[in-house]
Amino acid sequence: MQKLRFIVLLVAFGCNIPHEDSRLVFTEKQLPTPIQLKGEKLDFGLEFALNPKEILLKDQNLIVAEGKSLQNEKINLLDLRAQKYRRSVGKDGLGPGEITIGYPLLDSGEPDIFWVYDTQQFKFSAFSIKDTSTLAIRQFKGLDIPLYITSVDWGPNNTLLVNLVDGWVKYFQLNTDGDTIRYFGSWENMLDDRELPHGLKREDLQPNLLASVHQGKIKSNPSKTRFVKAGTHVDFIDIIDLENEEVITVYGPIDELPEFRVSMNQGFQMPAFDLSKLTLKYLDIYAGEKSFFALYSGKSFREISEDSNLNRLFEFDYDGKVLNHYQLDFPLIGFTVDEINREIYGISTDKDPGIVLFDLN
């Protein structure tokens, strides 16, 4: 294995990068007839107001990261069986066991353990559901690499699948020492069959700009064999077969790039989006064993809490086929799925943010 810093240099100077295997497109007309889901707000006996940002289902507990800035209690643990608030964790600070931000939430597959990647400290922190402390029980600093991680989830055998802020390579699988297991995919391929806005030419664009335009979350399935990445500003989904280094890219239901111009920040190109036209695409994803779900918005950030044109869930198989199309009756910004009981737990962004249950049965 090689250290990531050397791999990045090889890629930058022309090392061949495996291409995506296929490109699929679906449109609104090709979606199945929507199934109307009726949500139920859950209480949990909370004595304080939630402002949820992310949610994770772990061992019959809902792990809910707070979106507002809190000195402590950045993450709430909710017991599903008892329908009660359990406790909060996440002490603010830079010391041992402390964090400054409580999301993204990650699941390594360890019983009773969930992780947080603190994007302000570039630190990974493990919390115990059963422990009574508000501190992390294990931590390691973000990998000793020159390029920061922008999206991440746990992979098999104590490895991570990541996107980086710069470089043409889309995906790296790393171990926690920073060694590269494999790398594959190219951001440049995302411009195939694309018309760039404002007369921009693809040869003039830097990789960090394309990575920023195509930013989004990465999620792994429970067995850590499949991963899914969904775009926040571009309606694309990468379906990743890690072992075979194969990627199916699905575009839809609009299949277009947002309006942007190129600005410069400390010598790096950054997209300057036209905010009057920019809409959010996929807000969150859940990767199951046989299928995955993607939460689609289609609205601007200012409209995200409105009760009109509510967001939808698309369910796909791992070949990129749309299996189901669900219409929600609450505005959500995130969700998780109980595959065994066929239940969806969403975090709402209405006037009274909280946890919403949807039954798929």
Domains located in the chain, CATH noted: 48-141 (2.40.10), 150-327 (no CATH)
Q: What is the pLDDT of residues 128-138, one digit of tens each?
A: 999 999 999 99
The pairing of beta strand 291-296 with beta strand 216-220: unpaired
pLDDT at residue 1, rounded to an integer = 42
Phi–psi pair at 84, nearest 5 degrees: -135, 150
Q: How far apart are CA 268 and CA 265, in angstroms?
A: 5
CB environment 13-45: b (16+ within 10 A), e (fewer): eeeebbebeebbbbeeeeeeeeeebebeeeebe
Task: Report, as ranges of residue numbers, the positions in the chain whose pLDDT lies below 50.
Answer: 1-20, 146
Q: Which of 176, 245, 181 is nearest to 1 (CA)?
A: 181
pLDDT at residue 6, rounded to an integer = 36
pLDDT at residue 22, rounded to an integer = 83
pLDDT at residue 341, rounded to an integer = 96
pLDDT at residue 355, rounded to an integer = 97
Strands of the 312-317 sheet, one edge to the other: 35-36, 322-327, 312-317, 291-296, 282-287
Residue bearing tokens 């289609």: 298
